[in-house]
Amino acid sequence: MKIAVMTDSTAYLTPEQREAFDIHMIPLQVVFDDATYEEEVDITASEFYDKVKQQKALPKTSQPVVGKVIEKLEELSESYDAVISVHLSSGISGTYQSMVAADDMVEGIDVYAYDSELSCMAQGYYALEAARMVKQGASVEEILKRMDEMKETMIAYFIVDDLTNLQRGGRLNGAQAIIGSLLQVKPVLHFEDKRIVPFEKIRTKKKAISRIKALLAEQAADGAKMKACLLHGNRPEEAETLRGELAAEFPNVEVEVSYFGPVIATHLGEGAIGLLWYKV
């Protein structure tokens, strides 16, 4: 059986990674007043951050256009029998559900949609692992089982400069009173049951970052091999400095840097920082 691996643009895998591992990509969109862009295709992260500064109205986001999904699957069906397609959490986007529905719409290819229950490089790690296993001749079942195993330790914490984007976009869950009380501080956020909720109320960004580091320290204490990824919203130097600190502090953790691209940054705003990790 020939298996393709696909993910959506919010994995923010680089074109080089996608090419090297033969990973297909379906883009989500950012919608400005004057134009709609497919992220990672028509607009890069840095073009997006520049454009947001020039616009009065905030952009919106939308899941991949159904016609494009079908077109992509039809194209894949010419060379593959199945596709494992990894997506951002079904609690924050309809992308995963659309992919589940697409399985019945296209003949000649079985679609195995996988809900990362997170987004960004967590999706990337699932897709990269799936692609490696495909190269080694693994079956769909073996790959899905391995991704579920990775999910047991995959976790992400993040902070944003300003919570209003998340709140306006309806992607912050929790009682309104709690959210209101968080607007003046820098809460650490995380995913619970596929949705974004406050993890802990913390006063300053510095303390919030220390708290996230402490959470990683707890996980890394047993010395098991781990992978971690720093995610930043247009703050490459800050992420690189943190990467260096974490790499020095946790020799058993391989730390990489990735970014919040246009769709995720529409909801998190510029200046967000996140850290995700899993046990390899």
For ligand MYR, the binding residues (CB under 6 A) are: 28, 61-63, 92-95, 118-120, 156, 158, 171, 231, 263-264, 267-268, 274, 276
- Which residue, 73 or 118, has its beta carbon nearer to ligand MYR? 118
- Which residue, 77 or 116, has its beta carbon nearer to ligand MYR? 116
Count of CB atoms within 10 A of residue 141's CB?
9
Given a contact cutoff of 8 angstroms between Cβ atoms, the answer to whether 273 and 232 are in contact is yes
Query: Least Å distance between CB 241 and ligand MYR?
Result: 19
- Which residue, 112 or 260, has its beta carbon nearer to ligand MYR? 260
DSSP per position, 57-91: SPPEEEPPPHHHHHHHHHHHHTT-SEEEEEES-TT
Residue 62 CA to residue 56 CA, distance in Å, equals 19
Report DSSP state, residue 169: T
Query: Least Å distance between CB 139 and ligand MYR?
Result: 29
Among the listed residues 272, 167, 152, the one whose alpha carbon sits nearest the alpha carbon of residue 212? 272
Query: Least Å distance between CB 56 and ligand MYR?
Result: 21
- Which residue, 147 or 156, has its beta carbon nearer to ligand MYR? 156
Report DSSP state, residue 43: B
Query: Least Å distance between CB 268 and ligand MYR?
Result: 6
CA 144, 146, 147, 149 torsion-angle sign? positive
The residue sitting closest to ligand MYR, measured at its beta carbon, is 93
Residue 270, both tokens:
């510029």
Query: Least Å distance between CB 223 and ligand MYR?
Result: 25
b/e sequence 234-258, b meaning 16+ C-beta within 10 Å = bbeebbeebbeebeeebeebebeeb
- Which residue, 99 or 109, has its beta carbon nearer to ligand MYR? 99
Given a contact cutoff of 8 angstroms between Cβ atoms, the answer to whether 155 and 279 are in contact is no
Query: Least Å distance between CB 231 and ligand MYR?
Result: 6
- Which residue, 82 or 154, has its beta carbon nearer to ligand MYR? 154
